[in-house]
Amino acid sequence: MVKRKTPDLPTVHVSSLLFICALVPALFFKGPQMEYFAVTQILLVIWLGWVLMRSRDQALRVPKTPLTLCLTLFWSWLAVSLIWSLAPGISLINFWWVGSVALVFWLYVLTPDRETLWSNAAAVVLVIGIALALMGIYQTFVLEEPARSVFETRNTQAAFLNIVTLPASAYFLLSMTDKRLPRHYPVLLGTALYVLFFSIFLAASRGATLSLVLSMGVLVVLALHNTTRRGIGVLLLLMLVAFLFANILHGELSERLPHLAQDSSRRVIWESSWNLLQASPRQGVGLGLFFLAYPAFRNPADSSGGYFAHNDYLQIWIETGLPGLLLLLSVLFAVLWLFVRALRVTGRRDHARIEMTGLFCGLLAVAGHSIVDFNLYILSIMMTAGLAMGRLHELVDRELNFSSWRIHFSRITSMRVYPVIVLLPLLLPVAYFLSLGLTNSYYETALAQAREGKLQEADKSLAAAQCLVPADDRILVAHADLYRYAATLLPSEAEGSKKPLYENALKLLDRAQRANPLRGLTFVVRGRLYQQNPALAGDSWHEYAVDSFRRALALDPRLLQGRLDYADLLLQQGKNEEALAILEEGLKYRYSYVPELISFYSLTAKLRRATGREDDAKSLEDEARYLEKQADASYYPRGY
């Protein structure tokens, strides 16, 4: 009997698979969703282990280039800045978060079969970009929402699509000149580009649109002598038609662009951020701590979320000091210097020249847009930028032939011990990321249990979260507040039962304050604890509570609960004028809707009316009634 030859099964390229699997959860990570962050980072660490294991029998090549040096120094400085961070737990997360660009870059550079990695990963990233673009189009025309797909803002959506679109544009130009490719290839790529352009313009992000246009101009100018004019003409026509149709069908971008130079909201944020910078210009406040340090310097006219400076260079200066900013700029200049040097030695008809230009322009678009946005703090953008930077570095290295170190692990250690030496250190970050993900899961579960009145279950969930990450001040504050609330449920004469809850809450708040002295909510909970338990706090309970509320409002004047509690404390002592002054101080700021806002407006209106300010009181009462109606509404007609 003759055996039939079985067809070869398609092989899976592990590095490509790990990168794509890491990128997908990164798209859904917006800050609080630590589970997505943990999965992404664990997969990147596994990728690193895979690369090192594959280098066991061959030399590991480490290029000696200005880019590898500057990027490594920048990442190292992020690590050094953890030493003086006021909240090292948060800064450590941001070290991996912001440093993902360096990690992915090095993973690409060290991967042996980079050509396969790039061809696979770039194709899937393009497909992901098209899917996000289509999602944004659907949101605009069907849901009547801003085109932001899975991202938090439309600016982030446009920034991610920019770094996908510009390299794809370079490959489109190459496809128009390469006669070896099938005829349908340029058609498919051109269609994909039109969808990407159309979605970017629908997002109506002024900064992203401007960076796209300028970067596309650089691509066209540098590719003018390397490709056919027909290819450039078709590319520009696709972009122009997409722009026109986006404005005809939606029109928001054309309305927003004329006001680009008059963006007062950005200016307000930058002025407040500059004032924050003066507090620690040399070493910074700590990586990732901008959102905690900013409220104390915030302009009352600022209506933003307060999480970012909307200028990556200013924010990295605030967080990591002047060395951090200079090292970040050195990375950008290293990319520019290598790119210019490579252009000088490549031939005008060299395909690598156009590919390098497309990659450079993609990075240029992100770097330019970062002047008015926060791309450095978007995990998926940083990972994609690291991949593109790695590919650009590889193409430049081919042209300039830089020297490199070659590490032969077989000469350093035996092959039997090598897997242990490689894998054991990698278990530490894997365990750390697992702890982060599980802690956040326990934390969210505890909050849900507390809302349902299951206080004992919430206590157990928070205790489990503390065991995994003891220095997470969010968990500590939430646990302390749970004990504070539990004490209020006991009868007033049950001081003996309240005391353990009170003491445990104080211990947790002390730990939270040591872990992160910048979080105002810690002092709000402390002040409420003193206020609600005067017998346990002692004769000075009033001074303790007042001091706590003052410190909370000094850290964040927009903490409504702390302001309300402070005013209530003053009212109990008959200090109505002081209470009204405290409340009116908070009226200067802008707020997103929270339940406390209704109580805040109502109490302020009541005190104003008591002083004879009828008109001022009525305006606040009307605002409170409007918010109550909005909160009670359960149906919002959408018009479709």
Mean pLDDT in each 10-residue stretch from start to end of the chain (640 residues)? 46 85 96 94 96 83 94 97 95 97 97 93 97 96 92 95 98 87 88 97 93 96 88 95 92 71 81 94 93 95 91 97 97 97 80 93 98 96 98 94 83 78 92 96 95 95 96 95 94 82 96 96 96 92 95 95 94 92 92 86 92 88 85 45
Name the residue range of residue 506's domain: 439-632
Structural domains in the chain (count): 2
Domain membership flag for residue 356 = yes
Domain membership flag for residue 582 = yes
Q: How confident is the model at residue 261, as a pLDDT?
A: 61
Domain membership flag for residue 364 = yes
My answer on whether 224 and 327 are in the same domain is yes
Sign, CA dihedral 367-369-372-374, equals negative
My answer on whether 371 and 460 are in the same domain is no
Interatomic CA distance for residues 244 and 264, integer angstroms: 27
- Domain boundary among the residues 393, 411, 429 is at 411
My answer on whether 481 and 391 are in the same domain is no
Domain membership flag for residue 509 = yes
Interatomic CA distance for residues 295 and 283, integer angstroms: 20
| HSE-up of residue 71 (Cα within 13 Å, Cβ side) | 26
In 195-313, DSSP assigns E strands to: none
Q: Using DSSP, state whether 113 is helix, strand or coil.
A: coil
Interatomic CA distance for residues 83 and 93, integer angstroms: 14
Interatomic CA distance for residues 92 and 340, integer angstroms: 35
My answer on whether 364 and 467 are in the same domain is no
Q: Using DSSP, state whether 63 is helix, strand or coil.
A: strand
Q: What is the CATH number of the domain that holds 528?
A: 1.25.40.10
User: Cα separations (Å) of 115 from 169, 390, 395?
Assistant: 19, 11, 10
My answer on whether 454 and 343 are in the same domain is no
My answer on whether 113 and 262 are in the same domain is yes
Quote the crossing angle between the two packed helices 379-400 and 351-369, to the nearest 10°. 150
Largest CA distance in the chain: 105
My answer on whether 140 and 228 are in the same domain is yes
Residue 372 in tokens: 């008015």
Residue 503 in tokens: 């003491």
- Domain boundary among the residues 395, 411, 427 is at 411
Domain membership flag for residue 366 = yes
- Domain boundary among the residues 411, 429, 463 is at 411
Domain membership flag for residue 381 = yes
User: Cα separations (Å) of 227 from 70, 239, 277, 347?
Assistant: 33, 18, 47, 12
My answer on whether 242 and 359 are in the same domain is yes
Domain membership flag for residue 264 = yes
My answer on whether 193 and 89 are in the same domain is yes
Nearest to 333 by CA among 108, 69, 104, 110: 69
My answer on whether 401 and 453 are in the same domain is no
In the chain, what are the helix, strand and coil shares in percent, each to the nearest 5? 75, 0, 25
My answer on whether 286 and 392 are in the same domain is yes
The single-letter code of the amino acid at 633 is: A
Q: How confident is the model at residue 491, as a pLDDT?
A: 85
Interatomic CA distance for residues 530 and 551, integer angstroms: 14
Domain membership flag for residue 420 = no
Q: How confident is the model at residue 177, as a pLDDT?
A: 85
Do 430 and 42 touch, CB atoms closer than 8 A?
A: yes
My answer on whether 515 and 390 are in the same domain is no
Q: Which value, in Å, is the radius of gyration of the alpha carbons in the chain?
A: 28
